[in-house]
Structure 1
Amino acid sequence: MTSQRHWSQMQDWSLDWGMRLLFAVYRRCGRRMLQVFLYPVVSYYWLANAEARRASRDYLARLAAFEPDLKLSACLFHSYRHFLNFANAIIDKLAAWSGLIDINDVEFVGREQLLADLGAGRGALLLASHLGNPEVCRVMADRDAAVKITVLVHTKHAAKFNRLLRLYNPGSAMNLLQVTEINAATAMLLAEKIEQGELVVIAADRTPVNGGRTLSVDFLGAAAKLPIGPFVLAGLLKCPVYYLFCIKQDNRHRIVFERAGDALSWRREQRDAAVRQAASQYAQRLQTYTVSAPLQWFNFYDFWQT
């Protein structure tokens, strides 16, 4: 039996040249014409990448068993639709970075409470995921000029994404920060950003790149591993913690800032239990939103490590 690769070792198909090409088509010809270009690209990737296709079908099978009312299955057609949704999310990512998503196309939920917390003089930690398109939250930075956002990413492509971001929108208030692990230096840097009133965004649904500690939670009816780092970080930063979800419904982006509570705190002997509880709570909320937008789950690897 061949061992499954870690997600960070899988090739990212939304590389520099591809993003530039798709974005050029989008700007010159519009979204409808872009779909024509997407079909052959998605078809090639769907056919050529057996590992991602297998992961898609595994996810869809679990989802169908967990929530039969969705009328989805692990068939090839639904898997292909899954990939098409991912391709369109990349286009939305480009549009968000370049300022082409109109504020009227975005619905905010929980924004007022988040701004109230920021108004108290400190920042907040946002626990995101690979459901939907969290990058669209940069629209909030356009609308609220004082809001600055730092997104932690774990891939070597962060530098390329930053260059593209600056190319398309030099005045962007969103910054991508590459990290391979959450260590003391990372925590100190992020603590400074929190003290300056910034938002720090980190995805909490992928295991660490360097093989760091994980814990097991229930997700879609089976055990899945989550990284410990983001939840420990929530305790170290001592700031408000929110879940960030951004899904697309009826051609509108719905950005949800759901308050997870005040800063996590614990006595030393209680840390493991507190972190486990926080991770389980995050997994349950992620599960709820995943069921509401099932084809917008974009973890194309063996998430359950079967």
Structure 2
Amino acid sequence: MKAAGHWAQIGESTCVWGMRLLFGVFRYGGRPLLQAFLYPVVSYYWLSHPNARQASREFWRRLAIFNGERPEHLSWRSWRHFIAFANAIIDKMAAWADALPADAVEFQGRERLLADLGRGRGALLLACHLGNPEVCRVMARRDPNVKINVLVHTKHAERFNRLLARYNPASALNLLQVTEIDAGVAMRLAEKIEQGELVVIAADRTPVGGGRIAWADFLGAPAPLPQGPFVLAGLLQCPVYGLFCINQAGRHRIIFEPFSDGLTWTRANRDAVIHAAVRRYAERLQHHCLAAPRQWFNFYDFWRVQKC
């Protein structure tokens, strides 16, 4: 089987026109119609993309061994894994269109985060591909002064912003296209923090531009994680939270988990501090993944360095 390339080339190749189509289906027929539309599409994707299917099977194999179980029914678990992803896409549409009912979302750690924002500075949120972090937009709806900036790798960030504004003019979500954390990006994000805004960055995928990584144990084996988000935490010197959003019994639980008041280091201990932060984040990611494994949406070989 041909080896998969970098995650940026495989799991998220959706074009703007495709998102526009999904928005249209959702707004026209709601969740039932979009489910009817997505389920066969996702099932076909599962059948026709052996690399993604095998990556899902490998995740379930590792999870079973980690839990002391026999790795059985891997294909069945993998297919259900993809169907869970289809439902997550529907939730994503609902979040972007502000169509999630208020009673479908509950928060953990929101008060502490708002208290930090109330001191006049923003915060850095370490997101992951577990669950559906887009649902955190509901917080901006409940707290209109909260502005959310999400770092993404897509080259279509500005077009996505226009698409979101078209379907939801009041959207407080801003997508920022970033491939690597350089001095210019850091200065731009520092301005967002100084203005009391939130900056969201994925901390569970290796860099698109081939940046530095650190190895941390995840489900019983070393996995490569990016150093960039933690370097950024040190540069911004602001409160840092882990962001986890898990669907439990039909309700979205958004968890803002305090991670650091601001990473600091000297030239001598910089690498040690960053590597320790990566390992601590991997522990928290594993904790939440074990609680909702079917919502782990990384359909590539997570335990291998990806080449772009």
Q: Does 1:25 align with 2:25?
A: yes
Amino-acid identity (%)? 65
Against the structure 1 CA distance between its residues 72 and 131, is the aligned structure 2 distance closer, same or farther, given a 3 Å change threshold? farther
Counterpart in the other structure of 1:35: 35
> What's the CA shift for 1:11?
5.7
Bigger Cα displacement from structure 2, 155-164 vs 117-126: 155-164
* Equivalent position amino acid for 2:132 in 1: N
- What are structure 2's unaligned runs of at least 5 residues? none
Distance 2:279 2:122 in 1: 24
Conserved 8 A contact 2:35-2:86 = no
- Paired residue secondary structure (1:151): strand
**CA offsets 1:149-202 (integer angstroms, 9 cap, x no match):** 100011224234223211211221110000010011111111110010000000
Structure 1 vs Structure 2 CA RMSD: 1.7
* Equivalent position amino acid for 1:261 in 2: S
Distance 2:28 2:9 in 1: 34
Against the structure 1 CA distance between its residues 301 and 159, is the aligned structure 2 distance closer, same or farther, given a 3 Å change threshold? farther
**CA offsets 1:215-239 (integer angstroms, 9 cap, x no match):** 1000011000011110011011000
Distance 1:231 1:74 in 2: 37
Distance 2:85 2:103 in 1: 23
* Alignment size in residue pairs: 305
Conserved 8 A contact 1:180-1:210 = yes
Counterpart in the other structure of 2:124: 125
Counterpart in the other structure of 2:149: 150
Against the structure 1 CA distance between its residues 154 and 209, is the aligned structure 2 distance closer, same or farther, given a 3 Å change threshold? same
What is the correspondence of 1:197-212 to structure 2 with a 5 Å cutoff? 197-212=196-211
Counterpart in the other structure of 2:53: 53
Against the structure 1 CA distance between its residues 151 and 74, is the aligned structure 2 distance closer, same or farther, given a 3 Å change threshold? farther
Counterpart in the other structure of 1:301: 300
Distance 1:13 1:143 in 2: 31
Bigger Cα displacement from structure 2, 230-239 vs 157-166: 157-166
* Equivalent position amino acid for 2:210 in 1: G
Conserved 8 A contact 1:61-1:74 = no
Bigger Cα displacement from structure 2, 45-54 vs 24-33: 24-33
- Paired residue secondary structure (1:193): helix
What is the correspondence of 1:1-306 to structure 2 with a 5 Å cutoff? 2-10=2-10, 12=12, 14-68=14-68, 73=72, 75-305=74-304
Distance 2:299 2:73 in 1: 14
> What's the CA shift for 1:68?
4.5
Distance 2:27 2:191 in 1: 37
Distance 1:73 1:289 in 2: 22
- Paired residue secondary structure (1:268): coil
> What's the CA shift for 1:49?
1.1
Conserved 8 A contact 1:57-1:74 = no
Distance 2:48 2:166 in 1: 31
- What are structure 1's unaligned runs of at least 5 residues? none
Bigger Cα displacement from structure 2, 60-69 vs 186-195: 60-69
* Equivalent position amino acid for 2:143 in 1: D
Conserved 8 A contact 1:132-1:245 = yes
- Paired residue secondary structure (1:215): strand
Distance 1:171 1:33 in 2: 25
Conserved 8 A contact 2:129-2:296 = yes
Return the TM-score normalized by structure 1: 0.95
Return the TM-score normalized by structure 2: 0.94
